Amino acid sequence: MRLDLSGKTALVTGSTQGIGAAIAAGLAAAGARVAVNGRSADSVAAAVEGMDGDVVAAPGDLSTEEGAAAVLDALPSVDVLVNNLGIFGAQDPLSISDDEWRRFFEVNVLSAIRLTRAYLPGMVERGWGRVQYIASDSAVVIPAEMIHYGMTKTALLATSRGFAKAAAGTGVTVNSVIVGPTHTGGVEDFVYSLVDKSLPWDQAQREFMRLHRPQSLLGRLIEPEEVANMVVYLSSPLASATTGGALRVDGGYVDSILP
């Protein structure tokens, strides 16, 4: 299959590192003009410098109206919107403050809603566009220690499905991607804190998955580029009949046929 996004402009939120950076690089490799986003102008500039292709900077804190406005001023129109921005962290579910609940909702959910509201009308008017939300296995298998995080990812599934209906019949598709345990920054230290430190990385991650993530059918951590492959496909003209879906790149982690 030829995934050609030449002539398309894409915005990937939270894309200075990890999954977001891999998605931005994948879209650029497919020919898209890609805007990299993060809160810090310096971190965004460094990420752009390290990527090949037509990559531009779009810094701004999307959890705020002001930050979103700055990004929209710099990039008033896009053909592909990938809502990747997200934060996570374990906390005692009975002691999470109202402010922390709000913070997780504003960063993980409201930031994506703001941008969808801003960019979707233009896509509809042009008769082509792609909107995606990067969700998580935690949207379906809610972690007891991260209820506040799981809630936001479940909300993204609902948001995605709803906006897909709003764009029905227009040539614009809206989907979410459910991501499983992934090899991102800091995860190697986390893995080695739980398994034998003398093991080579490939063996260590497989031992970690066997002992601590036994639901995975893949038996190893997912690489960010594997998530990016799904996102690039969904962003392409070849995915024109896929909308309103929750597609899984979870290594079989979620033990169900449907999300």
Contact at 8 Å (CB) between 245 and 176?
yes
Strand order in the sheet with 129-136: 55-57, 33-36, 9-12, 80-83, 129-136, 172-179, 246-249
124-162 as b/e, with b when 16 or more CB fall inside 10 Å? beeebbbbbbbbbbbbbebeeebbbbbbbbbbbbebbbe
Q: CA 104: distance to chain centroid? A: 15
Q: How far apart are CA 31 and CA 84, in angstroms?
A: 20
CB atoms within 10 A of CB 45: 15
Please tell me which residue in 133, 149, 192, 253 is annotated as part of the active site: 149
Length of the chain in residues, anyone? 259
Residue type, 34: V
**Token representation of residue 34:** 């890609």
Annotated catalytic residue 192: no
Q: CA 36: distance to chain centroid? A: 13
Q: CA 116: distance to chain centroid? A: 14
> Helices (H) and strands (E) in the chain — how many of each?
9, 7
**Token representation of residue 214:** 């036994």
Residue spans of alpha helices (H) in 17-137: 18-29, 41-49, 65-74, 98-105, 111-126
Catalytic residues: 149
